[in-house]
Amino acid sequence: MLTLIPAPAVIAPHSLPLPLERLQLPEDLDGRTGGNRAGPEVVCQLAAGNDLEAIQAWLAEFHDSPQTLRAYRKEAERLLLWALMELGKPLSSLTREDCVRYEAFLADPQPRDRWCGPKAPRFNSRWRPLVGPLSPASRKMALLIINALFSYLVKAGYLAGNPLALARRRGRGIQPLRQVERYLEQDQWQALLAAVEELPRDTERACQHYARARYLIALLYLLGPRVSEVADHAMNSFVQVRGRWWWQVTGKGRKEARVPVNQDMLEALREYRRFYGLPPLPTPDDTTPLVMNLTGTAGIGDNMIYRIVKMLVAKGAARLQADDPHQAEKLRRASTHWFRHTSITHQADAGISLPFLQRNARHARIDTTGLYIHAEEKDWHENMERHRLKG
């Protein structure tokens, strides 16, 4: 069905908010002369001439990920509308103090009848940017996305600075949060996979060992579990809901969650079960342990999982030793929990959107998930290559 988009309308401070597609900004609020616009000495990499066009350029980066696009559009839209209607200033003039006020607004959006309403289609007259106040976790998510927007516009040469970059870290103690470092980089991961494929298969017991190692590595990498969760769950923790497979896990604090089971994980599960003569996929009453001993008569515990992983990383490290001793040493140190960190980090590298990444990791706090995002770190390092000893 073709959706007809109403003609753009000029936003006014006391009018009702409009979705981005309908916005037409007055010249004094469109950001072309915003106080935080980059100076003439900076070459802007965007063709955008105003804030709305700059936001649209940022959103266009996510055209191939509809879920991410919708989540990011929602947060950029809310911020832009709030700046225009509550402050009477363009997004490119927002200051650190404004960002503090905006976070307070998300906790208590006022006036309520202007900003909040029931869920409705974007071009319905009942549409509002918010349903109600955001929870602390949702506010953190919103600010993380807005920070990504500001960072992009600074990097593109559209803005002079990121007002959210000044925010202090809040949490337990006074130590700043550090990015997760105990994960395997791609070269190390590939060496590990190669080591698994080189395991001997010349006897029945060797074949059993190979099948279990291959399946265990897939389980640890594709689902990102804690080792205790692997030891404690049975095959019926894999459940099918509306035609899709999920891993139903009871994790830290006895919290229950579901993690999507993708096709690679499903195929690894099928292969492992076929090896032991089980039906390809489990049923709700299948209490077979998630990972079995070599004879398939009982499950294995945390310690055995740890020993299998240490044996495999040692073999992977041996493959790297001659060409890259540093990488080999890091791989050799890896333990079972590194696989959880590796799973989440590689998901972030693959572009899985932050809301889904947080749910996959089962983190209560969005800033915890943010520690696994290393893309900016890569850009930072590449930019430092411009700083040379000899010009």
Residues 132-156: what's their mean pLDDT? 88
Residues 355-381: what's their mean pLDDT? 63
* pLDDT for res 314: 95
Rounded to 5 degrees, what angle do the CA atoms 308, 216, 249 make? 120
* pLDDT for res 1: 33
Cα(342)–Cα(127) distance, integer angstroms:
41
Enter the tokens of residue 43: 């070459």
Cα(286)–Cα(106) distance, integer angstroms:
46
pLDDT(68) > 90: no
Residue pLDDT, tens place only, 326-351: 999 999 999 888 888 888 888 877 77
Q: Which of 261, 196, 189, 263 is nearest to 223 (CA)?
A: 261
Cα(141)–Cα(137) distance, integer angstroms:
6
C-alpha distances out from residue 355 to 29, 64, 342, 360, Å: 31, 16, 18, 9
Mean pLDDT (the chain, rounded): 84
* pLDDT for res 11: 57
pLDDT(7) > 70: no
* pLDDT for res 390: 55
Cα of first residue to Cα of last residue in the chain, in angstroms, is: 60
* pLDDT for res 139: 86
Complete domains list, the chain, with CATH:
9-166 (1.10.150.130), 186-379 (1.10.443.10)
Output 309 or 350, whichever has higher pLDDT: 309
Query: Which residue reads 């929602």 in tokens?
Result: 74
pLDDT(178) > 70: no
Residue pLDDT, tens place only, 190-211: 999 999 999 999 999 999 999 9
Residue pLDDT, tens place only, 83-92: 999 999 999 9
Task: Quickly state the pLDDT bin for 355 (edges 50, 70, 90).
Answer: confident
Lowest mean pLDDT among 140-149, 163-172, 352-361: 163-172
* pLDDT for res 175: 38
Enter the tokens of residue 13: 């401070």
Cα(204)–Cα(229) distance, integer angstroms:
28
When mean pLDDT is compared over 181-185, 349-353, 364-368, the highest value belongs to 181-185
Task: Quickly state the pLDDT bin for 173 (edges 50, 70, 90).
Answer: very low
* pLDDT for res 296: 87
* pLDDT for res 380: 47
Residue pLDDT, tens place only, 251-303: 777 888 888 898 999 999 999 999 999 999 999 999 999 999 998 889 999 88
Q: Which of 193, 276, 295 is nearest to 235 (CA)?
A: 276
Dihedral angle sign, alpha carbons of residues 57, 63, 68, 71: positive
Residues 168-176: what's their mean pLDDT? 42
pLDDT(55) > 70: yes
pTM over 0.85: no
pLDDT(10) > 90: no
Helices 263-275 & 204-223 angle (0-180, nearest 10): 160
Whether the Cβ atoms of residue 222 and residue 267 lie closer than 8 Å to each other: no
pLDDT(353) > 80: no
Residues 89-114: what's their mean pLDDT? 94
Residues 135-162: what's their mean pLDDT? 88
Residues 228-240: what's their mean pLDDT? 93
